[in-house]
Structure 1
Amino acid sequence: MTIRYTLKLAHINDTHSHFDPSRVQFLLTEQQKQYEVYGHSGGYARIGYHVEHARKQAKASRQSFLFLHGGDSFQGTLYFNQFKGVANADLLRRLSPDAMVLGNHEVDAGNGPVKDFLDAIDFPLLAGNMDLSQEEANKEAPLRNHPRLFDYAHQEKIAKTLLKPLGNTQMAIMGITLDQMKLIARPDDDTLFANAIDTTRNTVNALHRQGIKHIIVLSHLGWDMDKQLAASVDGISLIVGGHSHTLQGDFASLGINALPYGERINNTPILHAGKYAETLGLCNIEFNAQGEVTALDGSNYFMLDKHLIIESEEQINPEVYQQLWQQLDDHPHVLWDEQDDEIHRVIQQQYRPAITALEHQVLGFIPRNLVHTRLPSKALPHGSEIAPWVCKSIYHETKRLNTELDFALHNAGGVRQSLNKGPVTMADVLGRLLPFALPLVQYRIQGKFLYQTIESAINSATNNSISGTGAGSFPYTYGLRYCYDGRRPIGERILTLEVLRIQHEQKLWYPVSLDSYYYGVSSNYTASGKEGYHPLLEAQWQHPLEELTLPNAFIRFMERQQGLNGLLTPQVEYTSHLWP
């Protein structure tokens, strides 16, 4: 007799404080015409309703049920800026996940906010390769031995695992997060991260020795690393992931490119659910007695408003509107706006009023759309159009402190979104453009280390000769311009590097001398050497600017200038090693 085990799974990841429904766009075709269709999808109240519905379905069918979060609940919107994780813990607790894995943005401000989060939630936080064996005794915010934290068992070199019933057997869930955490986040100095693949392999082997074959890895490694993990470690039943904002599912008829849901590597299905609580992953899974997934049926699902916005050069008649609406209603992976009324009430009454006030506070106007892209491209050869304005704001607001300054330097990942033409509100800046309240740091550094910094950061952003940490490390500047050619040998890719001097109201550019010293300003994230910026640690000195953070420098500049006016001369010249 063949033994089969069934599981109904719900999953989300990278929700980033998007408690309200998020704006989404579809490209629909009707009568050989294409229409841009906009709606709002997801949010915690809708997710809460559909997860509870799935939970009841599983109970009625006598299935096991799991609801998992793939990490990065923190940051992202004004809700986090205003409530610093309190709302995240409260609303996640109301969603009742079975487990969440630690994401990198949970440790943007060190271990303290993680401790606060753990104290406020009532579900397990999995961080199976987070090594707290060196944690200092009597520290203010200790994580070691916290009852809701499943961290690294240092002596055994395995992840502490969560066990859940699956029919007449047990299923193990381990959480594996980025082992490069110190390069992209700010965990405390006494917190280490063991190798993700080695920890997973050791843990799988240990579970097999205990007779446990049904093993889920709840991962915050990203799509590419999840594939590498599946290929490297035999015996993983399923990977439920996050970090890369990867959407899976068949949405081609909606004009959305996505990867196949449950794509298998080494016979291990991998599941991701996009970003920002826009979609919810729901599936039915069947396992054999050896822990292998023998069937997986499901997808990610949009949870849409019933009211749509349709853009077209022609007037939309009611018949076309109804046909487009019907296309969405007929799509197998579209749900609608049923919601958990209690979660909705808490958001609207307890948290929303503070956000609404900021949405009505206008800082200034911008005359055209400013597009943000992390890397330059053929369409945007100088890269982001908004990141240089952020750098200019940092530069000018630092100069106003009567401090000596030559340039501003900032990483692309610290800027999150484009800005559209028209009024810019406090909510746009704090909630979307610059949601990370990073302090600014001034430093004095020798020219040779500036050459090294720019090249190293770009190499890291593009994986040029090194294994980087993502495109977010690409450098944008004001008062410092450079030309990078990725086709040249490492160490010779910065063809020119110049610093701006203003003499008699005239702007002049001079080559950066290897031996001379220059004054710069960056966020403390960048100045601490993250993501390829380690040459900045060679600065002669670094001084924090207590009165300035990244977003408030931009806000002050916007208010002073009443917007972003004029044109910025490009300060980035870039040739990719991948371009012919």
Structure 2
Amino acid sequence: MRKVLTLLCLVIVVVVASVVSAQDDETFQITIMHTNDTHAAHNPNSAGNGGVAILAAVINQIRAQAENSLLLDAGDRFTGTLFHTVHKGADQSQIMSLLGYEAMALGNHEFDNGDDVLAAFIDGVTFPVLAANVDVTNSVELNGKVAGTTVLEVNGQQFGIIGLVTADTLNIASPGENVLFDADYAAVANAAAAELTAEGVNKIILLTHTGFSIDEAFIPLLVDIDVVLGGHSHTLFSNQNTGAAGRYPVVFENAAGESIYYGQSLANTQYLGRMDVTFDVDGVVTAATGDSIFLSRYITPDETAAALIAELDIAVSALGDELSGATTDILLTGDRTVCRIEECNLGNLIADSMRFNTGAQIAIM
């Protein structure tokens, strides 16, 4: 009798193992790594946290552990430190190529230096740069360089990627006069998703550089989009940081009752977003977990990335050592949380300098 029971148990184990194996064959898990609003913050901050070399180390570690992965960016690589002042995007093309980014959405700051600088950056990378709600057809420099969508293949599975950028770019950056922006984000994203679905793609990721307050308003209107990775508002979603705006990932529901998973990971190369997503055979998300990973100074930096930043820093340090003004006994307030919502003395100084230099009666910044 005991032999019979033993044999029966073995049969059950084999059957269960076969069922589990069959289920595994019908699911696909991917680790999506994402950044946003890095703003040329290539070096660690004053506390030693963040920066490209630590980011590279974490990316490499995740890639070594995850069977399937993607690395995406939600825009605003440009502007923020002297790295951009000196290199104007050439630094970003080298860094993003080294780290192995596979797609990015445009941010408004990518237009800060005009269409020609953005075009040079795009020419310097091998991955697609996306903005489905931007028409660059009549831009001599950008025509044919910005796509709305792309399809990335990971281990035999196709992933559709869509990009959106804030339509306010027209007012807060310097796109060419022939670059057009569409503010109907949901309609644009749904049209792009419909095209991807018609091509047989059933796993779709949307990269948005529109800000969380805008994102949360239109995400419930989306159709056939599984994951949204955001930027522009510098919002942190985290399961560890008590000061975060909410837990990671945020879960939305569309009109069909389908879940859409959202992540955004602060700014200035301080966090790397990681979302582990499981899809069934029909491309439906069955599980999504993850977090924003803090790029702590206690993480050993990647040597290759550190060497690249050191090389880029030579010209940056030289510019930083140049004398360009005089000291003042008055503390100048330039904090973005102040100057973007009320009058500040640094803003007044810059506006007065603009008037003095141009001879204008009024300066607006």
Q: Structures share a fold, TM > 0.5?
A: yes
Aligned to 2:285: 293
Deviation at 1:198, TM superposition (A): 1.3
- Pair 1:205 & 2:218 matched: no
Question: Per-residue CA shift, 1:392-435, capped at 9, x if unaligned?
Answer: 4542674487x4xxxxxxxxxxxxxxxxxxxxxxxxxxxxxxxx
Cα deviation for residue 215 of structure 1 reads 0.5
Q: Residue 131 in 1 paired to residue 128 in 2?
A: no
Distance in structure 2 (CA, Å) of the matches to 1:165 and 1:355: 40
Q: Structure 2: which amino acid aligns with 1:297?
A: T
Report 1:54-453 matches (<5 A): 54-58=62-66, 63-133=67-137, 135=138, 139=140, 142-146=141-145, 149-150=146-147, 159=148, 161-166=149-154, 168-194=156-182, 195-252=184-241, 256-266=243-253, 267-305=259-297, 336-352=298-314, 354-355=316-317, 358=320, 361=323, 363-366=326-329, 368=331, 370=333, 372=335, 374=337, 383-384=342-343, 387-392=344-349, 394-395=351-352, 398-399=355-356, 403=359, 442=360
Structure number, greater radius of gyration: 1
Instruction: Determine what percentage of the aligned residue pairs are the same residue.
Output: 24
Q: Tell me, what secondary structure is at the counterpart of 1:7?
A: strand
- Distance in 2 of aligned mates of 1:397 and 1:375: 20
- Residue 12, structure 1, aligned to residue 35, structure 2: yes
Structure 2 regions of 5+ residues with no counterpart? 1-21, 254-258
The CA deviation string for residues 489-517 of structure 1, in whole angstroms up to 9 with x for no partner, is xxxxxxxxxxxxxxxxxxxxxxxxxxxxx
Q: How does 1:17-36 map to 2 (within 5 A)?
A: 17-23=40-46
Question: TM-score normalised to the size of structure 2?
Answer: 0.83
Q: Quote the Cα distance in structure 2 between the aligned partners of 1:348 and 1:177.
A: 31
Contact 1:280 1:302 in 2 (8 A): yes
- 3-state SS of the aligned residue for 1:299? strand
Change (3 A) 1:522 1:353: same
Deviation of 1:216 (Å): 0.5
Cα 1:181–1:290, aligned 2, differ >3 Å: closer, same or farther?
farther
* CA distance 1:230–1:301, change in 2 (3 Å): same
Structure holding more strand per residue: 1
Would the aligned equivalents of 1:282 and 1:299 in 2 still touch at CA under 8 Å?
Answer: yes
Separation in structure 2 between the aligned mates of residue 373 and residue 339 of structure 1, nearest angstrom? 29
- Contact 2:226 2:285 (8 Å CA) reproduced: yes
CA RMSD in angstroms comes to 2.6
Q: Is the 8 A contact 2:89 2:118 kept in 1?
A: no
Aligned equivalents of 1:127 and 1:189: distance in 2? Answer: 17
Contact 1:9 1:67 in 2 (8 A): yes
Give CA deviations for 1:516-546 in whole Å, capped at 9, x if unaligned.
xxx31234xxxxxxxxxxxxxxxxxxxxxxx
Partner AA of 1:144 in structure 2: N
Q: How many residues matched? A: 335
The gaps in structure 1 that reach 5 residues or longer are 24-38, 151-158, 306-335, 404-441, 443-518, 524-580
Determine helix, strand or coil for the equivalent of 1:246. coil
Report what 1:44 is aligned to: 52
CA distance in 2, matches of 1:171, 1:234: 15
Aligned AA for 2:178? D
How far the C-alpha of 1:168 sits from its partner, in A, is 4.6
In structure 2, do the counterparts of structure 1 residues 190 and 44 end up closer, same or farther at CA, with 3 Å as the change threshold?
same
Q: Alpha-carbon deviation of 1:166?
A: 4.5
The one-letter amino acid paired with 1:339 is: P
* Distance in 2 of aligned mates of 1:192 and 1:261: 33
**SS of corresponding position for 1:229:** helix
Report the alpha carbon displacement of residue 116 of structure 1 after superposing the two structures with TM. 0.6
Q: Give the match's secondary structure for 1:395.
A: helix
For residue 209 of structure 2, what is the amino acid of its counterpart?
H
- Alpha-carbon displacement from aligned partner over 1:353-398 (angstroms, at most 9, x marks no partner): 5326515857314455747365699xxxx945xx234314542674
Please report how far the alpha carbon of residue 256 of structure 1 lies from its aligned counterpart in structure 2 after TM superposition. 2.8
CA distance 1:399–1:78, shift in 2 (3 Å): closer
TM-score (structure 1 length as normaliser): 0.54
Return the letter of the residue paired with 2:294: F
In 1: Cα distance, 2:72 partner to 2:362 partner: 43
Q: Deviations over 1:288-329 (max 9, x none)?
A: 233332212221111222xxxxxxxxxxxxxxxxxxxxxxxx
User: Structure 1 residues 346, 366: CA separation in 2 closer, same or farther (over 3 Å shift)?
Assistant: farther
What's the counterpart of residue 522 of structure 1? 364
- Aligned to 1:80, the other structure's residue is in SS state helix
Aligned 8 A contact 2:31 2:69 in 1:
yes
Which AA in structure 1 matches 2:143?
A: R
Following superposition, the deviation at residue 92 of structure 1 comes to 1.7
1:295 and 1:75, CA in 2 relative to 1: closer, same or farther beyond 3 A? same
Q: Deviations over 1:256-279 (max 9, x none)?
A: 333211101111011111100011
Superimposed CA distance per residue, residues 126-153 of structure 1 (whole angstroms, 9 cap, x where no aligned partner): 12222123x16xx4xx22223xx31xxx
In structure 2, the CA distance between the partners of 1:282 and 1:364, relative to structure 1 (3 Å rule), is: same
Q: What do residues 79-130 of structure 1 show as CA deviations (whole Å, max 9, x unaligned)?
A: 1112222212222221110111111000112211111101111221112222
Letter in 2 for 1:261: Y
Contact 1:241–1:272 under 8 Å retained in 2: yes
State how far apart, in whole Å, the 2-side matches of 1:367 and 1:218 are: 43
Equivalent residue of 2:313, what SS? helix
| Secondary structure, counterpart of 2:48 in structure 1 | strand
1-structure distance, mates of 2:245, 2:153: 32
Shift in alpha-carbon separation, 1:84–1:210, aligned structure 2, 3 A: closer
Q: Which amino acid aligns with 2:190?
A: R
Higher helix share: 2
After superposition, the Cα gap between the structure-2 partners of 1:340 and 1:373, relative to the gap in structure 1 and judged at 3 Å, is closer
Determine which structure has greater relative contact order: mean sequence separation of CA pairs < 8 Å that are 6+ residues apart, divided by chain length. 2
